[in-house]
Amino acid sequence: MLVINVLIRKRNFLFFLLLPRVRPSGSEYFPGQVRVNVWSERQGGPFFSGVWLYNRCIMKEFLKKLVRAESTAEKGELAAARIISEELRLSGITPAISDWGTNRANITAWISSTGRRRGLLFACHLDVVGAGDRAWKHPPFAGVQADGKIYGRGTADMKGGIAAIVTAIREIVDSGLKLQGDIVFFAGAGEETDSCGAKRFIRDQADKLPPLCGVIVGEPTDFEVVTAHRGLLWLEVTSKGTSAHSSTPELGVNAIGSMGAFLAELENYQLRYEPHELLGRCTMSVNTIQGGNAMNIVPERCSIGIDIRTLPRQNHQDVIDDMQEIFDKLKRKDSRFDAEVSIVRDVGALETDRKCDFVKDFCSAVGVQRTKAVGFTTDGPYFASLAPAVVVFGPGKPQLCHRTDEYIEISDVEKAVQHYKNLILKFLV
Ligand SMILES: [Zn+2]
């Protein structure tokens, strides 16, 4: 920590007056925290001692490093977890990294308190989706700063949120404030693919956690307080045929033809659900298809990927049963029809009581009047078993997620630090 001692005498009184004005640019040069002590010749000790909190230049560099970690599911999250670990250690926090497979990783940190109040869990994800095929204005994994923004894959979803949460935690810890409830920080793997990190965290840590008053998921909501989102059910349907030389197709069973029949049925299929007052309807979209190996072979397999976005209280098993019913119907029409359905991913919907005390206090701490529901999905529902309320709240525009030229406004990350600190003060002090 850098300590600036200002001794007030007549001749440097002017300097003292100017000090507040030099702070913002001056702070760019100091790593970590700066304490300003103001002394007077007449008194024996400092009559003012203010902690000039953790400087924001460091936060930007931290966010850029996180972007450069390129934590796609293929490359793994370990590098990003290590960067966060180093950052937290600067404030004397000792995080734990749990890694598995090829560089897959979770990181958790626990800041203990007197335990008089229930704790707060900050939940994040380390992984990002790939950069896609389109050209970027700035390289997607360089963390380029321009026009008050930081560009790169994951800046909005959700490394900007991680940078803000880690910085807020560091500022609170560095300030020496006595907490009455624990802070638990978690950033996990695979949120974009199979939620492997969140599932692992809950499996290994759930019974070790302190009682929690709530969970804050720092995904990009552009500072909206999100208490509900739809769930998702990803299904793979595979039709099976019999290969044959395509000059004699009658000797085989064409799996692509079978899939065509299934897709025609799916066009007329109605999902069973009651519309939700905030989340609207359940939707379904067929998004991938693979089939066939060569121009002269009757294909023996064809598979499609279906993304279904579900509502709270909707039973996912009903959808799977309906698929099975369509198969049975097609088999009755043509006994050679053969298909199966498997679950690729299954995440429930999120629905936190908007009127509960946690949500009310949350809204007042961040100055928001109304909560919101969104169409996208997070790992939030996994954490619902740990605390009475899960709220999604973070910096960054949701419409920039997974897009070319993704960015986050630096001022939004700074604003988020203030919000997360206010939330810690509201719930844990
Ligand atoms: Zn995300």
Facing residues of 144 across strands?
151
Domain boundary, last residue among 305, 330, 346? 346
Q: What separation in Å is there between the alpha carbon of 246 and the centre of ligand 1? A: 46
Regarding whether 71 and 6 lie in a shared domain, the answer is: no
Distance 32 CA to ligand 1 centre (A): 28
Residues 81 and 224 in one domain: yes
Listing DSSP states for 88-114 in one string gives HHTTT---EEEEETTTEEEEEEEE---
Burial letters 372-388, b for 16+ CB under 10 A, else e: bbbebbbbbbbbbebbb
The rounded Å distance from CA 163 to ligand 1 centre is 14
30 plus 98 within the same structural domain: no
Q: At what angle do helices 56-68 and 160-174 cross, to 10 degrees?
A: 140
Q: Which domain holds residue 300?
A: 236-346
Report how far ligand 1's centroid is from the alpha carbon of 232 (Å): 14
Reference 157, options 398, 335, 414; nearest CA is: 398
Q: How far is the CA of 217 from the centre of ligand 1 (A)?
A: 9
Of 346, 372, 401, which one is at a domain's C-terminal end?
Answer: 346
Q: Output the pLDDT for position 23.
A: 41
Q: pTM for the complete prediction?
A: 0.81
| Radius of gyration from C-alpha coordinates of the chain | 26
HSE on the CB side for 411, CA within 13 Å? 2
In the reported structure, the alpha carbon of residue 328 is separated from the centroid of ligand 1 by a whole-number distance in angstroms of 38
Residue 26's pLDDT is 34
What separation in Å is there between the alpha carbon of 85 and the centre of ligand 1?
20
Could you tell me if 121 and 392 are in contact, meaning their C-beta atoms sit under 8 angstroms apart? no
Of 344, 374, 421, the C-alpha closest to 177 is 421
DSSP one-letter string for 220-231: --TT-EEEEE-E
Do residue 63 and residue 179 come from a single domain? yes
155 and 39 in a single domain? The answer is no
Please tell me the distance from the alpha carbon of residue 258 to that of residue 262, in angstroms, as a whole number: 6
- Of 282, 312, 346, the domain-final residue: 346
User: What pLDDT is attached to residue 278?
Assistant: 87
| CATH code, domain with 420 | 3.40.630.10
State the distance from the centre of ligand 1 to the C-alpha of 378, rounded, in angstroms. Answer: 6
How far is the centre of ligand 1, averaged over its atoms, from the C-alpha of 80 (Å)? 15
Query: 375 and 315: one domain?
Result: no
Q: Give distance in angstroms: CA of 222 to centre of ligand 1.
A: 13
User: How far, in Å, is the centroid of ligand 1 from the Cα of 191?
Assistant: 7
Q: What is the CATH number of the domain that holds 275?
A: 3.30.70.360
Instruction: Check: CB of residue 224 under 8 Å from CB of residue 368.
Output: yes
Identify whether residues 97 and 220 lie together within a single domain.
yes
Question: Ligand 1: distance of its center to the CA of 117 in Å?
Answer: 29
Same domain for 79 and 222?
Answer: yes
- With residue 233 as reference, give the H or E element that holds it: strand 231-240
* Residue 75 shares a structural domain with residue 161: yes
Distance (Å) from CA 254 to ligand 1 centroid: 40
Going residue by residue through the chain (429 aa), what tens digit of pLDDT does each one get? 566 666 666 555 545 444 443 343 333 334 455 666 666 666 556 666 555 544 567 899 999 999 999 999 899 999 999 999 999 999 999 999 999 999 999 999 999 999 999 999 999 999 999 999 999 999 999 999 999 999 999 999 999 999 999 999 999 998 899 999 999 999 999 999 999 999 999 999 999 999 999 999 999 999 999 999 999 999 999 999 999 999 999 999 999 999 999 999 999 999 999 999 889 999 999 999 999 999 999 999 999 999 999 999 899 999 999 999 999 999 999 999 999 999 999 999 999 999 999 999 999 999 999 999 998 899 999 999 999 999 999 999 999 999 999 999 999 999 999 999 999 999 999
CA distance 125 to 220: 12
CA 158 – ligand 1 centroid, Å:
5
CA of 157 to the centre of ligand 1 (A): 4
Ligand 1 centre distance from Cα of residue 106 (Å)? 15
What is residue 50's predicted lDDT score, i.e. its pLDDT?
57
Are residues 218 and 243 both part of a single domain?
Answer: no
331 and 382 housed in the same domain: no
Number of domains in the chain: 3
**Alpha-carbon distance 310 to 322, whole Å?**
15
Task: Check whether residue 368 and residue 295 sit in a common domain.
Answer: no
- According to DSSP, the residues that pair with 302 across neighbouring strands are 239, 291
Whole-number Å distance, alpha carbon 407 to ligand 1 midpoint, is 14
Find the 209 Cα to ligand 1 centroid distance in Å.
23
| Residue in this structure with the two tokens 């989706």, named with its chain if needed | 129
Q: Which two tokens mark 53?
A: 């909190």
**CA 392 to centroid of ligand 1, rounded, Å:** 10
387 alpha carbon – ligand 1 mean position (Å):
20
Contact 54, 167 (CB under 8 A): yes
Interval between CA 412 and ligand 1 midpoint (Å): 16
